[in-house]
Structure 1
């Protein structure tokens, strides 16, 4: 029976949240206009606070309602059916919440609620900012909440509701015409690529970063609106740091998810969705630097306005790109279009027009300074650094937006077939690599000048030691890598050497700053710590991507298939089960297929599992144990965690070590082969392994002609080149997957087959059930043999065994070494620590007065 109560509550709460956002937005607007802090009239502000709290409470109810329909498997709702299933673990149900567009919008709204409440409490200490800042905040919430409103008036649709019923969404489906109250027994499930623990924490972190960019934007708009052109920077700066570190961590979490889950062999593929988040982060980091320059010398205020506003607008543009469907097939993980593209465009255009118009209107009033920047001025290098970051973002933006150009030109009647670069990695890298060189140089020089006197002699003294250490260490690494095989690669590419040397310089320069600040106040060194982290990230990216080494090269001279891409035939090895192959310094063997069984700490071989009609249930064919502990005994029923996923055991052996990896794959009917790697982590590298091709489990095996053997106990035969011994038969009371009744009889043969690596025991079953003869064959995947107990000759005590053989099981596997990739992850952590130190410092400086405002600029000075 359909229960619509929870959906009705959820949808009503969305409407309440939307109306409350309108009220809060208007009330805060009126409070800002009437300058209540001066007049003492706080009625509008108090009313606005109440409306925003109502909005927040309604959002919480919506979140509860949506998670309830997922957690309780209420498949009468389309959102639950299309994103969840009965067998998902709770943490993956959380991922289901934001897998769809409506849930991800709701997550974004939720973070805005929390940030808004924090700002309201911040505003109580400094009432000047609350009304104008929260007016912008509430106005953004109005637009976001409209995205999940789901109100249809005629042909006009405002938002897409997550609480729509299946019978309404699929009204034309025959099943609902026959039975309007039909409820599916199970959902379609979570996208298999999202069934990863990083997908539980990556989206919330990323969306918190999205949400946090609104705070400095709101302060900048409030500064322009209320003509407080200089005061907004101080409260906005720690929030800008918070937004940058949160967004940066979210991006790197996504990179690690891709590294662990996808099989393109890395952590960054320059996918349009990746780029859409990377661009605003670059601009936001550039904005932080111009804001810091303004706090220090009163230079760069106009640039700070521009970059802060642009970073938020780029977040809106990223939202439009990924959710409007405009990317089409250009991205592997953008959202599909829900018919909201016009609404998304309106959202983006509204804030673009309003913010740019306000900036232009106030432009002449923005204070500037007549002081000229010298070459030895820290601010000069800060502005150059910000320009490099913005240019890097612009290059990515121009190419990523090609589908938008095509769509726009098509809209105005001009046909355009411009395509994204065929080799996107090469296209972006050739510019971004040099941008990295520029960032590395500037983070070193800029920090040295920031903390030293801005003159030629002091700069020479400051740069000498970092420069000498850089040249010494870089020379040592280059010589050792080229002459003595000190590294697993030769550092001989001039462009890579340039990035390596400049990144090293950034590390040593910023480290010298930290050493100097230790004698004063270490809390001041947040910037230097963050810059060291970024320099280490550049080094990690250089080594792990620039010198990634494929070790699974096909040296057999055999073409696996003419239908395969050249990359598979060239860079992969074919592994027959239990047949070792030399791969670089390793002897590699494919050992078999495994599944994940609930409550068992290791993967379990399929040979030990008898699959039942329910794919999530199996029966143990032997004791399942890990080390000395038995988890299931023969005949026990157990639960398969994810039957669609098969883990392929791959054993690596070398003179120094031996280990086993379990790359995962599934053959998805809609998405083809979905393969995820397994990674062996070393101190100086990662060994990255994934399967590229496996036999299709949905295809019937091509078994050879049945060959029958008449045997007596103790007889020996040759099966598919393997020696087999027939030990006899025995009666059994239970047949896995078969319900035995009184009068039913079952016997099983006992055969032992000697394989290359181990001995196999096969037990084909012959039974009489309901007066009919039945057979349960035994398949030994390792050997490509199927045994069937055909018949019993009771007079001569003979037993007939049928044998089919087929091609042995195999995988085609790719393996590569990613040298020093740990430097990238370590750099990410260090960068984050530096940002947090900066946030703490800026919060403590909250009460410190700024320098005197600069003179207002003339029109010529602005130009």
Structure 2
């Protein structure tokens, strides 16, 4: 059938290159395998040529796929399900990009795109390790390519096709108007495109500029973790268990910087777009991205220990391996749908569960496969991997938790084989050595990540074991009570470790170096605790004391690293990346503790209007202030007025103008709210914030009048009055002060023969205040053409001039409790929040400085060797 207006060419091009990328990635992986295993130079050369050509083909295919899908979104080709589901004609260009990676297929494509970019860098810059590293990278690309394939093999769907047409997706099956004869049992009608006027739009929560830049950076961080993993596995596979270290360190530092930046950009989005009043809610998807970062940081520190002392090589292999495995696990949590009700970030299940888990399972068992030392062991592990993959498919329902046992089995097997192959230093580290405390810090971070991922995985455990485990009523505190102890330990270690020497440090020398930073830190921390104060008593005195200690540790990290930068490093920035990063990390700790510990609710209810949020709501009525339009209310040090609102020209969103003023300041906030027209029903709100150097004022709409419950059913009562006459109402009286008529109206849309009448009324309440009301009516050709209504909200009155005859006015008066316009706000003051954001930037800069310095040292070392 020929479908009118349907453009199938972009989809055909895209799907062709999806298949080509799948084949090319498999050929590249196999070719690089042959390069690594072949001992014949000519064979190696031939296979290497094919491998590079295949990977270049893969990279080109991904770019074409990317361009084809963007073309479909940009040109609003709603015949494609992806464009219809994730975009609309009203989207700005930047939000079309957000729509690109809103769906699972687009985000997977973004991930594979970054693999291609980073893989090309390896091919260009590292000929020595190219073959074994790129074999693993290409193998990962093969799995990602299957996720956007969208074909059926023996009734099993493999992947989700981003280029599927809307009429082929099943979306139109239950829309009779789309079918021939308006019968769903008949084919789609040829002109169905004429009935599709617009797309389903992008989720309103994602229509924020941070969601344009946060996902690309985060997925670059995700993609970067593959390369330390690949280098580590390549080192095991080739038996070169030490030589890979210098090569991998810049990659690991890059991963720490970019993944950390991506995570905190997500926190900034949450701060500006979500209404929980903060930037981190221990959301499962937030946690799932944080855990690989913590493990990668652990791996960087143990790698540095090995470079200087020969210790902690086994731990480095484990950390780099698990960092990527937990990236895959976090992807499974996000994309499988298992977190659908537990996270605002999670995707819905679109049938990728099996593939996602297979990706995770296979790469978990790739680790022991690479660590095996004989071909016989590798064949056995490969066979076990296949059997376990099949077993997972058939036994998951029979043996509760079987998939989890398979993954744990792979990790344990890897540790066993890796320990056999990787030598361990026999001499014990000295407790006065830098490497000892660096290892302790890495271990603390690793254990912290395991605790976080365990708590995060409770929905998975519930599903596997058919239980109903939960973190408790106060989910946030269940994390904080543990992680604040981690912050204390890590903060102290961040401060003191660099003052130790490798191998061993004379205790007197250490105390001499650390004395001044310790004294200054004590003075600064005392000033903060005594003068600025943190009185966070929500969780009791014990938790408050832990916060105090953690703050002292954070200040210690800031001061000690700053002192080390200018004393030991003499201000040499190029060689001080570690100190700069640790200084920034200390600021992050201090910023978190001060902003959260001194977060102040400004919007305590003083209006007398109580809002019932319901028993399941996180909102507390007493912490939400209802503002009546035009009436100033006290909110902390501010007088706050609801000035007005405006509607989005194309969407169901209302933007509110909230005026804050104090004796020293005045500003306008513009929070918006809407009933979510995509996803779950209910009020959704985007906050607005005023930024200062030392604090933010943050507000969001927490309640709106319900239009169904607040319908105005009151009727007008009409009175005929002359100038000077009085009309009484329940709370006072109204005086007609002036009545005038005018011909030749200077108003567009009216004739010269039309007549306008104006009435000036004084509304006097019994309790004293009076209000002025001016009404307008226009008559022409024997009929009323226009009537204005004026609302006196403070008196719940609506007034209208209905008619004027011979100097006598007919005035309508309506008393209604539903004429009041109001909005309910939640407002906070976040002190010192910029310490957090500034600390993140400094940490990233310091880590990148370290990366570039390591690249420089590697080039110098290579030059000396040649």
Q: So what's the TM-score if we normalise by structure 1?
A: 0.85
CA separation of 1:482 and 1:193: change in aligned 2, threshold 3 A? closer
Deviates more, 1:664-673 or 1:827-836: 664-673
Match in the other structure for 2:636: 584
Contact 1:723-1:754 at 8 Å conserved across structures: yes
> Is the partner of 2:201 in helix, strand or coil?
coil
Whether the aligned pair in 2 keeps the contact of 1:452 and 1:459 (CA below 8 Å) is: no
Task: Work out whether residues 540 and 824 of structure 1, in 8 Å CA contact, stay in contact via their aligned partners in 2.
Answer: yes
Provide structure 2 residue ranges, at least 5 long, that are not aligned to the other structure.
181-188, 372-413, 536-540, 764-768
Conserved 8 A contact 1:673-1:693: yes
3-state secondary structure, aligned to 1:73: coil
Q: Equivalent residues in 2 for 1:161-200 (5 A)?
A: 161-169=161-169, 170-173=171-174, 174-178=176-180, 179-183=189-193, 184-200=196-212
* SS in structure 2 of the partner of residue 644 of structure 1: coil
Preserved CA contact (<8 Å) 2:601 2:829: yes
Contact 1:77 1:166 in 2 (8 A): yes
Give the one of 554, 558, 567 matched to 1:516.
Answer: 567
Aligned: 1:367 with 2:379: no
Alpha carbons 2:773, 2:790 under 8 Å: kept: no
Give the structure 1 partner of residue 627 of structure 2: 575
CA gap 1:23/1:12 in 2 versus in 1, 3 angstroms:
same
Q: 1:57 to 1:481 in 2, by over 3 A?
A: closer
CA contact (8 A) 2:607 2:633 kept: no
Decide whether aligned partners of structure 1 residues 789 and 434 sit closer, same or farther in structure 2, where only a CA change above 3 A counts.
same
Written as runs of structure 1 = structure 2, the 5 A alignment for 1:551-630 is 551-555=602-606, 559-561=610-612, 563=614, 565=617, 567-595=619-647
Say which of 4, 12, 17 aligns to 2:8.
4
Q: CA deviation at 1:35?
A: 4.7
Residues 343-389 of structure 1: CA deviation (Å, up to 9, x unaligned): 11101101011114433334312132222200111000110000111
Q: Alpha carbons of 1:699 and 1:373: their partners in 2 closer, same or farther (altered >3 Å)? A: same
Q: Which has the higher mean CA deviation after the structures are superposed, 687-696 or 192-201?
A: 687-696
Contact 2:656 2:672 in 1 (8 A): yes
- The aligned residue for residue 503 of structure 1 is 554
Question: How do 1:386-535 residues align onto structure 2 when only pairs under 5 Å count?
Answer: 386-409=442-465, 415-450=466-501, 454-481=505-532, 493-519=544-570, 521-535=572-586
Q: 1:14 is matched with which residue? A: 18
Query: What residue in structure 1 maps to residue 108 of structure 2?
Result: 105
Q: Helix, strand or coil: the match of 2:192? A: coil
1:470 Cα offset (Å) = 1.2
CA–CA distance in structure 2, aligned partners of residues 16 and 758 of structure 1:
75
CA displacement at 1:498 relative to structure 2? 0.6
In the alignment, which residue of structure 2 is the partner of 1:627?
none
Pair 341,730 (structure 1): closer, same or farther in 2 beyond 3 Å:
farther
Residue 86 (structure 2) aligns with = 83
Asked whether the 8 Å contact 1:539–1:824 carries over to 2, the reply is: yes
The question of whether the paired residues in 2 share the 8 Å contact of 1:9 and 1:65 is answered with: yes
Q: Give yes or no for the alignment of 1:656 onto 2:664.
A: yes
Alignment of 1:293-332 (within 5 A): 293-332=305-344
Q: List per-residue Cα deviations over 1:748-803 (Å, max 9, x = no partner).
A: 655667899997766566678xx99776765659676656664564xx36564545
Contact in 2 for aligned 1:735/1:746 (Cα 8 Å): no
1:152 corresponds to which residue? 152
- Against the structure 1 CA distance between its residues 155 and 420, is the aligned structure 2 distance closer, same or farther, given a 3 Å change threshold? farther
In the TM superposition, residue 567 of structure 1 has moved relative to its aligned partner by: 3.8
Any residues of structure 2 matched to 1:150-299 within 5 Å, and which? Answer: 150-169=150-169, 170-173=171-174, 174-178=176-180, 179-183=189-193, 184-299=196-311
- The 1:758–1:207 alpha-carbon spacing in structure 2 relative to 1, beyond 3 Å, is farther
Shift of 1:734: 8.1
- Deviation, 1:475, is 2.3
Aligned residues: 783
Structure 2 SS opposite 1:705 = coil
Structure 2 Cα separation of the partners of residues 801 and 817 of structure 1? 48
User: Which residue does 1:623 correspond to in 2?
Assistant: none
**Partner SS, residue 234 of structure 1:** helix
* Match among 647, 650, 674 for residue 655 of structure 2: 647
The reply to whether residue 67 of structure 1 matches residue 61 of structure 2 is: no
Structure 1, unmatched stretches of 5+, are 410-414, 485-489, 597-639, 851-863
1:705 deviation in Å?
1.5
- When structure 1 is superposed on structure 2, of 644-653 and 422-431 the one drifting more is 644-653
Residue of structure 2 equivalent to 1:134 = 134
| Contact kept? 2:435, 2:503, Cα under 8 Å | no
Corresponding residue number in structure 2 for 1:49:
52
Contact 2:430–2:504 (CA under 8 A) maintained in structure 1:
no
In structure 2, the CA distance between the partners of 1:39 and 1:697, relative to structure 1 (3 Å rule), is: same
Cα drift, residue 304 of structure 1: 0.5
Gap change, CA 1:659 and 1:41, over 3 Å in 2: closer
The answer to whether 1:830 aligns with 2:842 is yes
Question: Would the aligned equivalents of 2:517 and 2:556 in 1 still touch at CA under 8 Å?
Answer: yes
- Tell me how far 1:589 sits from its aligned partner: 2.0
2:694 is equivalent to residue 692 of structure 1: no
In structure 2, relative to structure 1, the CA distance for the partners of 1:224 and 1:576 (3 Å cut) is: same
- Provide the rounded CA distance (Å) in 2 between the counterparts of 1:777 and 1:761: 9
Secondary structure at the residue paired with 1:128? coil
Partners of 1:131 and 1:579 lie apart in 2 by 71
> Residue 387 of structure 2 corresponds to which residue in structure 1?
none
| Residue 269 (structure 1) shift | 0.4
Deviates more, 1:650-659 or 1:13-22: 650-659
TM-score, with length taken from structure 2 = 0.84
Partners of 2:153 and 2:625 in 1: CA distance: 59
Residue 579 of structure 1: CA displacement?
Answer: 2.1
1:754 touches 1:760 (CA, 8 Å); kept in 2? yes
Which deviates more from structure 2 when the two are superposed, residues 796-805 or residues 210-219?
A: 796-805
| Aligned residue in 2 for 1:706 | 716
State the shift of 1:67 in Å.
0.8
Q: For the residues of structure 1 that align with 2:354 and 2:614, how far apart are their CA atoms?
A: 42
8 Å contact from structure 2 (residues 745, 752) kept in 1: no
Q: Compute the displacement of 1:244 (Å).
A: 0.9
CA contact (8 A) 2:627 2:825 kept: yes
Instruction: Map 1:699-848; keep pairs closer than 5 Å.
Output: 701-710=711-720, 727-728=740-741, 750=758, 763=776, 778=789, 780=791, 790-791=802-803, 793=805, 796=806, 800-806=810-816, 807=818, 808-847=820-859
SS at match of 1:590: strand
Shift of 1:581: 2.1
| C-alpha contact (below 8 Å) 2:88/2:198 kept by paired residues | yes
Instruction: Indicate which of 115, 120, 125 corresponds to 2:123.
Output: 120
Are 2:670 and 1:668 equivalent residues in the alignment?
no
Deviations 1:88-125 (A, max 9, x none): 111111111001111111111111111111111013xx
RMSD of aligned alpha carbons: 3.1
Map of 1:683 onto structure 2: 693
Change (3 A) 1:69 1:763: farther
Structure 1: how far apart are the matches of 2:651 and 2:213?
24
| Alpha-carbon distance in 2 for matches of 1:827, 1:491 | 27
Rounded Cα–Cα distance in structure 2 between residues aligned with 1:763 and 1:131: 83
CA–CA separation in structure 1 for the residues paired with 2:639 and 2:141: 58
- Tell whether the 8 Å contact from 1:198 to 1:254 is kept in structure 2 after alignment: yes
